[in-house]
Amino acid sequence: MTGKDSGEALNQLISRERHTYDLALDVLGQKYARKILIMIASNKDIFSVEALREFEILNPSVENKTVKKLIELGFAEKLSRGNYKIIDPMFEECILRRFS
């Protein structure tokens, strides 16, 4: 399989799962959930002042509650202090493609 083939296969998988990912995002329903998922997928320090400004998150406590909800629902996991990861790599790729 070439790089082109694997890229096409990934595109097809994401396209096929897009409805499922859209439903997952709808379940989250929180105003900041998508922004925080983008931050996590982009490997940003999600609690930095710069990231909060860039993503227009005015209240760090709202961000903290949203991160906890993402973890509770199984969308993300905490790796270390301030370092999080989206559990499903295809979901992460879908978020990067759609919202970055």
pLDDT tens readout for residues 16-65:
888 888 888 887 776 788 889 999 998 888 888 898 899 898 888 888 98
**pTM of the predicted structure, to 2 decimals:** 0.79
* Distance (Å, whole) CA 37 – CA 75: 9
The tokens describing 13, both together, are: 């998988």
Supply the pLDDT for residue 3: 65
What is the rounded distance in angstroms from the CA atom of residue 97 to the CA atom of residue 62?
A: 25
**Over 70: is that where the pLDDT of 80 sits?**
yes
CB 42: neighbour CB atoms within 10 A?
A: 16
Q: Which of 75, 67, 66, 77 is nearest to 95 (CA)?
A: 75
* C-alpha R_g of the chain: 14
